[in-house]
Amino acid sequence: MSLLKSVGDFRGLYGLGENELNALCAELREKILEVSLRNGGHLSSSLGAVELTVALLRVFNPDADKIIFDVGHQCYAYKILTKRMDAFETLRRKGGLAGFPRLNDSPYDFFTTGHSSTSISAAAGYAKARDLKGEDHEVVAVIGDGALLNGVSFEALNALDDLHTKVIIILNDNKMSISPRVGGMAQHLARLAVNPAYKKLKECIKAQCEGSEKGQNIKHALSGIKLKLKSLLLPTNIFEEMNISYWGPFDGHNIAEMEKVFRLARDYDESLLIHVMTKKGKGFAQTEKYPCFFHGVGPGTDIDAPEKLSPAPPSWSGVMADALRALAKEDPRVIVCTAAMKDGTKLGAFAKENPARFFDTGIAEEHTLVYAAGLAAAGLLPVVCIYSTFLQRGADQIVHDICLPKLPVLLGIDRAGLVGEDGETHQGILDVPWLRAVPNVTLAAPRDAVDLRFFLREWKKREIPMALRYPRGGAPLRLLSSSGERRPAPWGKLELLREGSGVCLVGVGSTVELMLESADEIEKSTGRRPTVVDLRFIKPLDCEGLDALLSSHPRIVTAEESALAGGVGEAIAAYAKGRGFAARVFSAGVPDRFIPHASRQEQWDECGLSPENILRLALS
Sheet holding 503-507, edge to edge: 495-498, 531-534, 503-507, 555-563, 584-590
* Cβ neighbours around 216 below 10 Å, total: 12
Asked if residues 452 and 512 have their Cβ atoms less than 8 Å apart, the reply is: no
Q: Check whether 147 is labelled as a binding-site residue.
A: yes
The CA distances from residue 394 to 332, 369, 372, in Å, are: 26, 7, 12
Q: Which one, of 189, 183, 117, lies nearest residue 156 by Cα?
A: 117
Asked if residues 345 and 391 have their Cβ atoms less than 8 Å apart, the reply is: no
Asked if residues 336 and 468 have their Cβ atoms less than 8 Å apart, the reply is: no
Q: Check whether 412 is labelled as a binding-site residue.
A: no
* Cβ neighbours around 591 below 10 Å, total: 13
Q: Which one, of 538, 592, 610, lies nearest residue 569 by Cα?
A: 538
Contacts of 226 (CB under 8 A, 6+ apart): 201, 234
Helix (H), strand (E) at residue 412 = strand 410-414
Contacts of 251 (CB under 8 A, 6+ apart): 257, 258, 276, 277
Three-state DSSP at 386 gives strand
Q: Check whether 131 is labelled as a binding-site residue.
A: no
Q: Check whether 116 is labelled as a binding-site residue.
A: yes
- DSSP structure string for 139-173: EEEEEEHHHHTSHHHHHHHHHHHHHT---EEEEEE
Asked if residues 417 and 471 have their Cβ atoms less than 8 Å apart, the reply is: yes
- DSSP structure string for 25-40: HHHHHHHHHHHHHHH-
Q: Check whether 252 is labelled as a binding-site residue.
A: no
Give the separation between CA 423 and CA 406, rounded to whole angstroms.
34
Give the separation between CA 448 and CA 468, rounded to whole angstroms.
12
Give the separation between CA 61 and CA 350, rounded to whole angstroms.
48
Catalytic center residues: 280, 365, 393
Three-state DSSP at 609 gives coil
Residue 315 one-letter amino acid: S
DSSP 405: T
Evaluate the omega torsion of the peptide bond into residue 540 and state whether it is cis, within 30 degrees of 0. Answer: yes
Give the separation between CA 67 and CA 108, rounded to whole angstroms.
8
Q: Check whether 123 is labelled as a binding-site residue.
A: no
- List the binding residues for Mg(2+): 145, 174
- List the binding residues for thiamine diphosphate: 73, 114-116, 146-147, 174, 284, 365
- List the binding residues: 73, 114-116, 145-147, 174, 284, 365
